[in-house]
Amino acid sequence: MRVAIATQDLARVDAHLGWARHLMVYDVSAEGYRHLRTASFRAGLRQDGDHDKLAARFKALTGCSLVFVVDVGPEGEHGLAARRIAPLRQFAGQPIALALDALQDSLRRNPSRWLRSQEQQDRRIHR
C-alpha cells in the first residue's frame, strides 16, 4: 500500500500536514517497504491561514491510503477525508523507519479490516 510521511528533517514523522517541508511516499507490504519519491515544498510560506499550501500537498499524496503526521488542521482533515486518505498521528516524533516497520508488522501479523481492505485496494490500483 502507498503511504506518505510528513517530515521536516527527512528522518522523523515530525510535521503537521500543512507545514511539512517534505512528503516522503513509500510502498509498504508485509514483505517490506521501499521509498518511491519525496515531494518537497518551499519553506518560508505563511503557515497559518494559507490554505492554498494544502493543494500541492494533496497532489503529492495522490495514490496514498494513509499519511503519518504530527497533526492535521480542519481543512486538511476535510481534504484527506475527501480523498480517502487516513491521517495517522500515532508515530509523531518517531523515526520514519519505526513507523514503516510497525505498519509492515501490522500487515504481516494481524491487519485490521480497514488496513486489509486498503492493502487489497492498493494492489489493484498499483499493479
Q: Give the pLDDT of the chain (127 residues) as one tens digit per residue.
A: 999 999 999 999 999 999 999 999 999 999 999 999 999 998 655 555 555 789 999 999 999 999 999 999 999 999 999 999 999 999 999 999 999 999 999 989 877 777 777 777 776 666 6
What is the Cα–Cα distance from 23 to 68, expressed in whole angstroms?
A: 9
Break the chain down into helix, strand, coil percent, rounded to 5: 35, 25, 40
Domain architecture of the chain: domains with CATH: 2-125 (3.30.420.130)
Q: What pLDDT shows up at residue 112?
A: 78
